[in-house]
Amino acid sequence: MRSFEELVAEADAEPTEGWDFSWFEGRATEARPSWRYQQSMGARMATANAALDIQTGGGEVLAGIPKRPPLCVATEAWPPNVAKATALLHPLGTVVVASPNEEPLPFADGAFDLVVSRHPVTPRFDEIARVLQPGGTYFAQHVGPASVFELVEFFLGPQPRDGRQPDRERAEAEAAGLEIVDLRTERLRMEFFDIGAVVYFLRKVIWMVPGFTSAQYMPKLKELHERLPFVAHSSRTLFVARKA
């Protein structure tokens, strides 16, 4: 069995680009939402004419569907992910555009009949509505409220739980001119089996414990190491909307 120090060092050395979570195999588990986002998104992509994937990460989810529309574009803000997504998606005929999350989308009004996103940092419903054609669909999986807060609060103490509320997102989408077709949230069991998985997760999902480094949180990591396995719950929201 590897030591605490070896597990932390290994996790610190692992690259964090993209949204490939295969490194966690055998080290952590997470239940999946009942709506099967990638499969459902792929079915919609297969019948679309022009589609946009917002904040594609490393492009792994979009690359994993069997068919993409004739025009398929993805945006990403973080330069290492832009490079990874470009290498993965360009051979599949999908253009990757570097676009800051907080800026307007660099596309014309009504450019797409389908806009998708998996775990957008902050969905810009005004921009989503603008680039959708009339009758077009926004299909997304959002991070829900208080996601993985058992782990977050272990490191940071009690946190506000009013962020990422589905009802607030519904109101913002409706104010932008979108009609809600489906909106539901599920809480999903996660379990971390070794401290390396915790370190890598917090390095990769940077908004959980902002500025996380193993050196800064070494005492808490040692405490958590003695308590493993550690159970938390992620929160996911299916968000489907239509532009009238």
Strand 178-192 to 50-54 pairing: unpaired
Has residue 11 got a pLDDT over 90?
Answer: yes
Model confidence band, residue 209 (pLDDT cutoffs 50, 70, 90): very high
Instruction: Kindly report, residue by residue over 178-205, the tens digit of the pLDDT.
Output: 999 999 999 999 999 999 999 999 999 9
Give the pLDDT of residue 17. 87
Residue 190: CB atoms within 10 A of its CB come to 21
Question: From CA 227, how far away is CA 46, in angstroms rounded?
Answer: 46
State if pTM tops 0.75.
yes
Model confidence band, residue 232 (pLDDT cutoffs 50, 70, 90): very high
Instruction: Kindly report, residue by residue over 96-117, the tens digit of the pLDDT.
Output: 999 999 999 999 999 999 999 9
Structural domains in the chain, CATH included, are: 4-243 (3.40.50.150)
Name the residue among 97, 94, 95, 179 with its Cα closest to residue 138.
Answer: 179
Interior CA angle at 240 toward 237 and 244, to 5°? Answer: 150
Residue 45: CB atoms within 10 A of its CB come to 20
